[in-house]
Amino acid sequence: MPNYQEPQNPKSELDNVFQALADPTRRAVLSRLTEGPATVSDLAKPFDMALPSFLQHLKVLEESGLVKSKKQGRVRTCEAQLLRLTEAEEWIAHQRAVWEGRLDRLDVYLKSLQSTDKE
């Protein structure tokens, strides 16, 4: 019988966004790009790392859909794509609402326990 392996689920787009946001360098790049497009060399200036390392960060941002780049001649310009950030924000808001509802129900339950203890 041949070895059977479950198919691996590819990472979701939302997973890619959170992975991209997990790194402080990538968050700083994205923050800079919210001010407007910038060249790769301008984006790399504030960071104390080799350009190939910085380009790996840009690759993660592009693969997540948070950044789009275009090359004109020898200059590559990047710009933020905030739609993906909005999707992450909506997921977080949904999770917050779920947990706030749970905490509200817990609060009601604990108050009912306190009132029965006083009787």
Per residue, the 3-state secondary structure of 61-85, as one string, reads HHHHCCEEEEEECCEEEEEECCHHH
Could you tell me if residue 36 is inside a domain? yes
Supply the angle between the helices 13-21 and 24-33 in degrees, to the nearest 10.
100
What confidence tens digit (pLDDT) does each residue in 40-64 have? 999 999 999 999 999 999 999 999 9
What pTM value is reported for the model? 0.74
Could you tell me if residue 2 is inside a domain? no
- Position 76, amino acid: R
Predicted local confidence at residue 11, as pLDDT: 60
User: The domain that contains 109 carries what CATH number?
Assistant: 1.10.10.10
Residue 12, SS3 per DSSP = coil
Domain that holds residue 114: 13-118
